[in-house]
A and B are shown apart, each in its own frame.
Chain A
Amino acid sequence: MLKLIGSVLLMGGASAMGFSAAAHLRTRVRCLRSFAAAVEYMERELSFRLTPTPALLRDLTDTAFAPANRFFAHCSGKLSELGEKPLNILWRQALEKSGLPLEQDEMRTLFELGEIIGRYDGDGQCEALSLARDRLEGFVKCALEEQYRLEKVYRALGLSSGAFLLLVLL
């Protein structure tokens, strides 16, 4: 009986690993899309209304899709520390704390935005935001390709490795 329970647990664990890897691919795409949309919103707000950074962060906390909205909420909350730390550091810390499911290059693009936001004139920031949006959309494309290519593979791999373990152990 114990052997059976152990084997089922092993199969369940292996399958869960496969499904979790597949889910990571999906959340990465969703995350990149949410940031691409948020960056587009920032670009529009800055070019037409020159919205102050605190108002922009508050708006995005309310309107951006998850998980970007969580980051903007973190960042908005950290603005009270302005004076102890500069805005780019607060932005970086908020990104690090948000636990985003992104790759190194993708995170770097978001970190770089923190060096621009609130530091230059509206046009300068819009140019940087436009560039960041292009990059994020590129990342979305790659992440989608990866998702189509690997999602089923990860799931199948998880299930089959679980089944293989089950066969070996039984």
Chain B
Amino acid sequence: MAYEKKAEDWFQEASALLPVWLRCAVRTLPERQRKEAEEFRLRAGQPASIVLPNGESRIPGCKERPITSEDIGITLEIASQGSAHTVLERIKHGYLTVGGGHRLGLCGSGVIKDSVFMNMRQLSSLAIRIAKEVPGAAAGVLEQLLDEGMLQSTLIISPPGRGKTTLLREIIRCVSDGEGAVALRVGVADERGEVAAMESGLPRMAVGARTDVMDCCPKREGLLMLLRGMNPQVLAMDEITAPEDVDALETAAGCGVILLATAHGGNLRELGLRPVYRRLISENIFRRAVIISMDGKKRRYDVVPMEDGVC
């Protein structure tokens, strides 16, 4: 019941980022859709749509009113609280995380200066991913990540939008609280602020009692600072994307810390095609991989061993 109430709260929070006319429309959606909603999609020239577990559909009452660039601009202004200067660095990477952990993905025309991508002008598309906690998401998965009761370094793999961050957060919470595993101190390098959704020094998402979060700081620096300063037993980071992230993971692995991380990919074989991950796999940094796939409307979690560079 408490969770259901929370799902409604997250929806209300994420919909508050929309321009008023659209906000009113999405809030009239049936209760079930509000709780299941995963994303809002705004594309200039097209009516707004909502992503549900069974796909993307138009928002009732908005079919006659296409989204304009101004609507997208207003959404960005609400999300940044009229403070473009505080989010510009993140906009350069094509996304922006707001309070509560909701993520705005952006598309538009790039502004290039001295061959460097500086900013975006004339925004054309925007996706708001609604942050959610799913208590129990790690049930049935966590015990497969243990070896003689101890958590093993694990890589969570799935295409975008399948719930990597949600599963990572839930594993962090369980390990930190000692639910189904030995309780350990967890350090989280939360560069995008989506894992813990820190606000005024407090996590908005449940990440456990023994968790220390370094947010809004590059993953590599975050991991190393946690390692130096917080004496973690488990280190977690969301979305390995750059060689620097792999460098930091290698450093941490060499210090006897258990690692938890996520990566985009359909399976281990696909992951092995990309040089960054090939290195990660061949160096045996992780002992387990969780592959998330869709089985109809439900998510399926397959845990596979990652030993001796198997991929």
On A, residues with C-beta under 8 Å from B are 46, 50, 52-54, 79, 82-84, 86-87, 117-122, 125
**Closest-CB distance, B27 to chain A (whole angstroms):** 13
User: How large, as a class, is the contact surface on chain B?
Assistant: 10 to 19
Q: Is the CB of A79 within 8 A of B84?
A: no
Bound together, the chains give a CA A54 to CA B84 distance in angstroms of: 12
Bound together, the chains give a CA A98 to CA B82 distance in angstroms of: 21
Query: Which of B74, B84, B86 is the one whose CB lies under 8 Å from A119?
Result: B84
Query: Which of A83, A86, A125 is the one whose CB lies under 8 Å from B85?
Result: A125
Query: Inter-chain contact count A-B, CB under 8 Å?
Result: 50
Q: A82-B77, A86-B74, A86-B77 are in contact. Are A53 and B23 (CB under 8 A)?
A: no
Determine chain A's interface SS by DSSP, over half rule.
Answer: loop
Task: Give the 10 A-B CB pairs with smallest separation, nearest first.
Answer: A118-B82, A87-B82, A52-B83, A53-B83, A122-B85, A53-B82, A84-B20, A83-B78, A52-B86, A54-B81
**Closest-CB distance, A76 to chain B (whole angstroms):** 11
Query: Which of B16, B74, B85 is the one whose CB lies under 8 Å from A46?
Result: B85
**Closest-CB distance, B195 to chain A (whole angstroms):** 22
Bound together, the chains give a CA A52 to CA B77 distance in angstroms of: 12
Chain B minimum-CB-distance residue to A49: B86
> Would you call B246 an interface residue if the criterion is a C-beta within 8 Å of the partner chain's C-beta atoms?
no
Please name all residues of chain A whose beta carbon is closer than 8 Å to the beta carbon of B20 when the two chains form the complex. Answer: 83-84
Q: Mark B73-91, 1 if CB is under 8 A from A, else 0.
A: 1100110111111101000
Seed contacts A52-B80, A54-B82, A121-B85; 9 additional CB < 8 Å A-B pairs: A50-B85, A50-B86, A52-B83, A82-B78, A82-B82, A83-B16, A87-B77, A87-B82, A118-B77
Q: Is the CB of A83 within 8 A of B18?
A: yes
Bound together, the chains give a CA A87 to CA B79 distance in angstroms of: 12
Q: Is the CB of A53 within 8 A of B18?
A: no
Bound together, the chains give a CA A10 to CA B286 distance in angstroms of: 93
Q: Is the CB of B23 within 8 A of A83?
A: yes
Q: Is the CB of B84 within 8 A of A52?
A: no
> Would you call B135 an interface residue if the criterion is a C-beta within 8 Å of the partner chain's C-beta atoms?
no
Bound together, the chains give a CA A53 to CA B79 distance in angstroms of: 12
Bound together, the chains give a CA A109 to CA B77 distance in angstroms of: 23
Please name all residues of chain B whose beta carbon is closer than 8 Å to the beta carbon of A87 when the two chains form the complex. Answer: 77, 82
> Would you call B19 an interface residue if the criterion is a C-beta within 8 Å of the partner chain's C-beta atoms?
yes
**Closest-CB distance, A45 to chain B (whole angstroms):** 10
Chain B minimum-CB-distance residue to A56: B83
Query: Which of B73, B81, B88, B119 is the one whose CB lies under 8 Å from A53?
Result: B81
Q: Is the CB of B88 within 8 A of A121?
A: yes
Bound together, the chains give a CA A86 to CA B82 distance in angstroms of: 8
Please name all residues of chain A whose beta carbon is closer than 8 Å to the beta carbon of B83 when the two chains form the complex. Answer: 52-54, 118
Task: Give B1-27 interface residues, CB cut-off 8 Å to A.
Answer: 16, 18-20, 23
Max chain B CB contacts within 10 Å: which of A50, A83, A117, A120? A83
Q: Mark B55-82, 1 if CB is under 8 A from A, else 0.
A: 0000000000000000001100110111
Bound together, the chains give a CA A52 to CA B16 distance in angstroms of: 19
**Closest-CB distance, A50 to chain B (whole angstroms):** 5
Please name all residues of chain A whose beta carbon is closer than 8 Å to the beta carbon of B119 when the two chains form the complex. Answer: 121
**Closest-CB distance, A53 to chain B (whole angstroms):** 4
Chain A minimum-CB-distance residue to B22: A83
Bound together, the chains give a CA A158 to CA B286 distance in angstroms of: 88
Bound together, the chains give a CA A50 to CA B19 distance in angstroms of: 25
Please name all residues of chain B whose beta carbon is closer than 8 Å to the beta carbon of A119 when the two chains form the complex. Answer: 84
Bound together, the chains give a CA A46 to CA B88 distance in angstroms of: 13
Bound together, the chains give a CA A38 to CA B16 distance in angstroms of: 31
Q: Is the CB of B86 within 8 A of A79?
A: no
**Closest-CB distance, A68 to chain B (whole angstroms):** 19
Please name all residues of chain A whose beta carbon is closer than 8 Å to the beta carbon of B18 when the two chains form the complex. Answer: 83
Please name all residues of chain A whose beta carbon is closer than 8 Å to the beta carbon of B85 when the two chains form the complex. Answer: 46, 50, 118, 120-122, 125
Please name all residues of chain B whose beta carbon is closer than 8 Å to the beta carbon of A86 when the two chains form the complex. Answer: 73-74, 77
Bound together, the chains give a CA A118 to CA B85 distance in angstroms of: 6
Please name all residues of chain B whose beta carbon is closer than 8 Å to the beta carbon of A117 when the two chains form the complex. Answer: 82
Please name all residues of chain B whose beta carbon is closer than 8 Å to the beta carbon of A125 when the two chains form the complex. Answer: 85
Q: Mark B194-217, 1 if CB is under 8 A from A, else 0.
A: 000000000000000000000000
Q: Is the CB of B81 within 8 A of A52?
A: yes
**Closest-CB distance, B200 to chain A (whole angstroms):** 12
Max chain A CB contacts within 10 Å: which of B74, B80, B81, B83? B83
